Amino acid sequence: MAHQCVLLNSTNTLSHGNSPSTLEDVPLKRRPPTPDETPAKRPCLTRPACHDGEAGSNGDAENFIKSNAHRHTIFSLLQTSSRRPPSSSSRIILPSRLILQSFVSSHRSDGFKCSSLADDTFVTPPYACAFSYGAKRCGTPLLAVATEEGSVSVLDTSKRREWDFEPQRTTFQPHENGIFDVKWSLDDSMLATASGDKSTRISSVETQNLLQLLQTHTGSVKCIAWDPSHRDILSTGSRDGKVCVWDLRIASSRAGLGDGVPVLQPVITIHDAHGQMKSTSRRRKLTPLPRSVTSVLYTGTRSHALISSGSFDGILKLWDIRLPVPDDPKRQIKSPCASSPDDATTMNSPTCRPRGISSLCAGFGPTSGLLFALGADSRLYTYSSPSLMPVEAETHPNLRASFYVRLASSPCGRWLASGCSGKNGSSFLFDVSNAARLSASPHSRKSLAAAVELRGQTGEVGAVDWAYETLATCADDGTVRLWRPNYDVYQKCLSDPDAERWNWSWSQDAYPCER
């Protein structure tokens, strides 16, 4: 009668039939040493012989384990490594430019059009876009796209097959003017939109209803940043030179709109955050214009710290929002806690003319502790977060920047994406995985890995953002395009570009970053 070989979970001993045997009846798996043999640190374990009926059982189990093992993609590995920043800045991380080159976009399943709400036009240019926090954590890839008409569309950008119908989108109009920035709340339940109508509005993602109106700026609101430590606190920057901090829990002190939407006032206001432009006129009645605030950003290295950039120069400023002037009834912050010791934009200009910063983003994982800024001089600047000191400057020969072009960091922290103000519909990808090592050696002449240019749209590409394994780019032709890595398709496009250009868009020749 054939017996089956059973391994008990607790003791790994053999059991013949239905009743387990005792330890004395089971042959030892570890071979006892002989008297004249020196014991090894790790004795070799021998497997007891199985009976005739169990031949091939281990092979079947091994095949089952292999078939059900978790398959790690390159993005899951990068996502895991992003949670463990390198312990030393001298640690070299392998470049991943080949992955950036493999980003492709299907003409059939990776494109969206921003439909116009007007009767005389079909599409409207998108001004801003943002993936939800869930999309960056490998959840449902929801993308909020804000347009020139003041509308917002929430798109489901899940990967679909060719000729599949586009998933149903949600569209609402919180503003009557163009929206320059849109950001998700930490729990993805609300959307904050900054508009040219000088207001910021909070809308519900589920009901699309307007929840609150934030209104105190006297110029177009250019940027928004949610506090990562609190879901009800956010900051805004405007062309009027102000940085305002808002608390959505504070009751409205003004009468609401006609439909009962409360109007909130800021809890902290920073006037002339980046100074004022000097008036060249001798007439004293003319007041100097404030310099626009182009980006606001909460840093992960310091709690309650807010970093801002301006349109005049490359100086970054850090503000501690816990320290307003105590005797000021308007709770104004007079001066920053820190600012950049040098203007990076003057170091790369032959005339030493300062240039502004159009967009600012923070690094993650291997680039944690670094800030990346896109200058109006079409250069990518790297700053050290604790000191705000510029440490590196790179560019691409085809990159053209404007104050409508944005910069975004990938969830893994290794890559940056930038738009372009040219007419070719280009966007650019930078591998910054070794930026921390380069910043530790400011006198080193080594540069970042080669940049990659993506072409698939027409006109200026202003808004860009990353999700898990996906990049979204928005262009003036009224389209939103998704880019995903696919090395096989990329090689196919290179082998037969004339035939594949009807089906795909892919990266152009990679150029080395220039200083």
CB 66 within 8 A of CB 44: no
Residues contacting residue 499 through CB under 8 Å, at least 6 positions apart? none
Tens digit of each residue's pLDDT (9 = 90 or more) over 111-166: 999 999 988 899 999 999 999 999 999 999 999 999 999 999 999 999 998 888 99
The CATH architecture that domain 101-278+287-506 belongs to is 7 Propeller (2.130)
Tens digit of each residue's pLDDT (9 = 90 or more) over 44-102: 444 445 445 444 444 554 454 344 444 445 555 555 555 555 444 445 556 688 899 99
Q: Which of 63-77, 293-307, 444-458 has the lowest mean pLDDT?
A: 63-77
Half-sphere exposure of 435 (CA within 13 A, CB side): 33
CB 459 within 8 A of CB 423: yes
- Please state, in angstroms and rounded to a whole number, the distance separating the CA atoms of residues 430 and 424: 18
- Other Cβ atoms less than 10 A from the Cβ of 26: the count is 16
**Mean pLDDT, the chain, whole residue set:** 82
Is residue 491 helix, strand or coil?
helix
Per domain, the residue ranges of the chain are 101-278+287-506
Nearest to 221 by CA among 242, 245, 202, 190: 242
pLDDT exceeds 50 at position 10: no
For range 464-484, the mean pLDDT: 97
For range 169-180, the mean pLDDT: 97
Torsion of CA 42, 48, 54, 59, to 10 degrees: 20
Is residue 213 helix, strand or coil?
strand
pLDDT value at residue 328: 58
The backbone torsions φ and ψ at residue 16, rounded to the nearest 5 degrees and listed phi first, read: -100, 125
Tens digit of each residue's pLDDT (9 = 90 or more) over 426-442: 999 999 988 776 655 54
pLDDT value at residue 258: 56
Half-sphere exposure of 181 (CA within 13 A, CB side): 31
pLDDT exceeds 60 at position 420: yes
